[in-house]
């Protein structure tokens, strides 16, 4: 059997353990393994997926041990391995379940210690880091087949954006790519979604510019985050919580930063209106898309400057709590919303 390699030129391995918070990168790695291992008309016959929850190790081992049909390889994917740990009281209540899980892992460990050379067995998990207390994970780590996928940083996302756009047959400036990343946030899957929207919006143009990005991508993210400050302005905590639920999967610093930006724009809007600035000059003065200016003008009327400065100060304290680990995001944001929605809050 000829040795095959994935798109990164690495030989196929009989076992992989892919985990981390960046699910899009995990998915891409799985697809690269599948593309290298499965070829020809019988690819679908040699690909099988199992769910980690309620996993039957016996079924997985049987599938992984089966010879491929008219192909050199089979690919077995086990999704959602290593789910979040149960609370201690739940463990005590479900001792039988825990013992069953341990036996399942023992069976899988026995297989990976002597895996079939014609199978690629892939475990995936959304845990932030592998659980080295697990004998299975520890063994796989020692064998060098554990890969953790972290969020890409801003520069990596900008570079990725430019490469994705180029692959689609267009170009995008660094400034436009940076703006797209600012709008999309830190999740690669969201960035790719915004790339698709900007690409379609640009039409026949050979290049995507900042205006294309803002016109195609800004409305959803901007309006969603704006909804939080709008609800706070109306002293409607229930509405603010509802909007927050839509963006709660974002990285904490992204949410706090976005809300802070909204509040600063509202404060600046009040100051510019008080100075009598021509409404036509507000978009450039505020640094926002013209379509949102009317919303900011109306929104700023819901606050006094004292209230906005108080909300910004509370958000600063929330940011400090997050960065120092004093409280989780859900607690910090809920406290900020409740405090800001109190009548007379400053």
For residue 306, give the nearest of 344, 253, 250, 339 by alpha carbon: 344
Task: Give residue limits of the domains in the chain.
Answer: 15-149, 154-208, 221-340
Rg (CA), the chain: 25
Q: What is the pLDDT of residue 1?
A: 42
Length of the chain: 346
If one looks up domain 221-340 in CATH, what number appears?
A: 1.20.272.10
Q: Which CATH number does the domain 154-208 belong to among 3.40.50.10300, 1.10.8.60, 3.40.50.300, 3.30.230.10?
A: 1.10.8.60
Alpha-carbon distances of 161 from 140, 152, 194, 214, 291, rounded to whole Å: 33, 12, 10, 15, 25
Q: What is the pLDDT of residue 228?
A: 78
Mean pLDDT of 51-58: 81
For domain 15-149, the CATH architecture is 3-Layer(aba) Sandwich (3.40)
pLDDT tens column, 209-225:
998 887 777 555 555 66
Which residue did the predictor score with more confidence, 42 or 17?
17
Percent of the chain with pLDDT over 90: 36
pLDDT tens column, 4-32:
555 554 689 999 999 998 999 999 999 99
Which residues does 331 contact at the CB level (< 8 Å), separation at least 6?
none
C-beta separation of 111 from 64 below 8 A: yes
pLDDT tens column, 147-167:
999 989 889 999 999 999 999
Q: What is the pLDDT of residue 150?
A: 92
Q: What is the pLDDT of residue 85?
A: 47
As given in the structure block, the two tokens for residue 206 are: 């050979």
As given in the structure block, the two tokens for residue 48 are: 């099988």
């Amino acid at each position: 059997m000829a040795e095959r390699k994935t798109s990164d030129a690495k030989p196929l391995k009989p076992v992989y353990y892919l985990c981390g918070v960046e699910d899009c990168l995990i998915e891409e790695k799985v697809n690269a393994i599948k593309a290298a291992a499965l070829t020809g008309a019988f690819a679908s016959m040699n690909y099988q997926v199992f769910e980690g929850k309620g996993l039957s190790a016996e079924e997985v081992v049987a599938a992984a041990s089966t010879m491929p049909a008219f192909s050199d390889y089979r690919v077995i994917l086990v999704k959602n391995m290593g789910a979040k740990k149960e609370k201690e009281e739940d463990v005590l209540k479900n001792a039988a379940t825990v013992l069953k899980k341990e036996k399942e892992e023992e069976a899988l460990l026995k297989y990976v210690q002597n895996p079939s050379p014609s199978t690629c067995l892939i475990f995936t998990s959304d845990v932030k880091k592998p659980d080295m207390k697990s004998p299975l994970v520890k063994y796989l780590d020692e064998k060098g087949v554990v890969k953790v996928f972290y969020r890409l940083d801003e520069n990596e996302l900008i570079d990725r954006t430019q490469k994705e756009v180029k692959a689609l047959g267009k170009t995008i400036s660094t400034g436009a790519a940076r703006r797209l990343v600012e709008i999309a946030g830190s999740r690669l899957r969201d960035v790719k979604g915004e790339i698709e929207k900007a690409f379609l919006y640009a039409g026949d143009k050979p290049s995507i510019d900042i205006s294309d990005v803002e016109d195609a991508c800004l409305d959803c993210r901007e309006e969603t985050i704006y909804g939080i400050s709008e609800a706070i302005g109306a002293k409607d905590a229930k509405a603010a919580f509802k909007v927050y639920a839509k963006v709660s999967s974002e990285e904490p610093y992204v949410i706090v930063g976005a809300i802070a930006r909204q509040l600063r724009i509202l404060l600046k809007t009040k100051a510019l209106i008080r100075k009598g600035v021509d409404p036509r000059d507000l978009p450039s003065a505020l640094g926002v898309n013209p379509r949102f200016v009317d919303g900011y003008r109306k929104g700023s009327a819901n606050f006094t400057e004292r209230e906005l400065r108080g909300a910004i100060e509370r958000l600063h304290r929330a940011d400090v709590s997050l960065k120092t680990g004093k409280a989780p995001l859900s607690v910090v944001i809920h406290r900020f919303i409740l405090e800001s929605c109190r009548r007379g809050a400053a």
